[in-house]
Amino acid sequence: MQGTELAELATFLAVARHRSFRKAAIARNVAPSAISHTIRSLETRVGVRLLHRTTRSVSLTEAGERLLAGLTPAFGQIGQAVEDLNAFRDTPFGTVRLTLPRSLATVVMRDVMGPLLRQNPGLHLDIVATDRLLDIVEDGFDAGIRFGERLSEGMVAVRLKARVRFAVVGAPAYFREHPPPLTPADLRHHACIRYRFPSGAIFNWEFARGDEALQVEVDGPLTLDDQALMIEAARDGCGLAMVSEHQAAADLAAGRLARCLEDWCPEDDSLHLYYPSRRHMSAGLRALIDRLKAAG
């Protein structure tokens, strides 16, 4: 089999897995037009249609399903054969794709990326920071990071050492006009800057003290989908915001923001990395996990 034919089959496999030309293009690091051209070339060469495509969706024909079933184990063996070469190297090589919450990316990856890449010059990290909940298998990731260890079936969770704390903050001018809340229940008397997840759901503020844990559905005149913008709005006196402590640290230190309900905002140590149990853990992913566990 020639290299061109192998590349066409790899492209087909990416489209079939993602059910999307755009996502396949991202995974293959090429333009979507190149994906379309390659699929047309493959279909012309084999003489059958492999994909049904519309402006909204991509699905497999019966022939495409048959080809996917044959290619999946074959390319799995190829990938494993290449991965096995790491046994003959001092450091792992290859690409590791990771997704994690945008709001936590800097604190989680701090002291991780630089040392990891310096110690493993053949390694490439592809990190997507987004608060959208992704399917790491469908979207082609090796692993993901999020709170909690209750994951879908077939996933392995690894607890990380990194601890994250949230803070309820407001501008000093706001607190001069509104007495700070003493309990989470007092938030009903305050203008709160709400956070909207990419799914459209509104984040309920979460608190804990001792054995008591609760969620509060806050209200206010402003709803945003970015923590940096929430901090900016809080600085402007728009109301109270609940954001990750490290993102507000500079403003708190400079006195541009003040915090409240601090005793209701403990550190959260439930951050986990998760990956598919049925997938062989690559040497690169193992190196990333080891570095994350050491850097917490």
Q: Are 178 and 253 within one domain?
A: yes
213: CATH:
3.40.190.290
Q: Three-class SS of residue 236? A: coil
pLDDT, mean of each 10-residue run, the chain (296 residues): 76 86 82 88 89 82 88 77 64 85 85 91 90 79 80 77 88 96 96 91 92 93 94 96 92 96 88 80 87 79
Task: Name the H helices within the chain.
Answer: 3-18, 21-28, 32-46, 62-84, 105-109, 113-119, 172-177, 227-235, 245-254, 283-295
For residues 8 and 147, state if they share a domain: no
pLDDT tens digits for 221-241? Answer: 999 999 899 999 999 999 999
| pLDDT computed for residue 10 by the predictor | 86
Same domain, 106 and 240: no
**Do residue 34 and residue 115 come from a single domain?**
no
Query: Domain boundary residue among 85, 107, 127?
Result: 85
Residues 53 and 10 in one domain: yes
Among candidate residues 20, 54, 85, the one where a domain is terminated = 85
Domain-terminating residue out of 85, 108, 137: 85
Strand, coil or helix: 160: coil
Residues 252 and 181 placed together within one structural domain of the fold: yes
Task: Judge if 146 and 185 occupy the same domain.
Answer: no
In terms of domains, do 182 and 231 share one? yes
Cβ(275)–Cβ(156) below 8 Å: yes
The enclosing domain of 57 has a CATH number of 1.10.10.10
Q: Which residues of 77-94 are buried (b: 16+ CB within 10 A; e: fewer)?
A: eeeeeebeebeeeeebbb
pLDDT tens for 78-103 read: 777 766 665 666 667 788 999 998 88
Instruction: Give me the pLDDT at residue 150, please.
Output: 59
State pTM to two decimals.
Answer: 0.68
The CATH code of the domain that includes 278 is: 3.40.190.10
Helix axes 3-18, 62-84, angle to 10 degrees: 110
283 shares its domain with 137: yes
d(CA 21, CA 160): 34
List C-alpha distances in Å: 51 to 9, 62, 217: 13, 9, 45
Domain count, the chain: 3
Same domain, yes or no, for 151 and 107?
yes
**Tokens coding 24:** 């396949």
The verdict on 277 and 223 lying in the same domain is no
Q: Which of 247, 211, 245 is nearest to 226 (CA)?
A: 247
Confidence at residue 90, expressed as pLDDT on a 0 to 100 scale: 61
Predicted local distance difference test score (pLDDT) of residue 2: 60
- The per-residue pLDDT for 166 is 93
Phi, psi (deg, nearest 5) at residue 69: -60, -35
Question: Residue 96 belongs to what domain range?
Answer: 89-163+270-295
289 and 149 within one domain: yes
Contact present, 205 and 187 (Cβ < 8 Å): yes
How high is the pLDDT of residue 269? 73
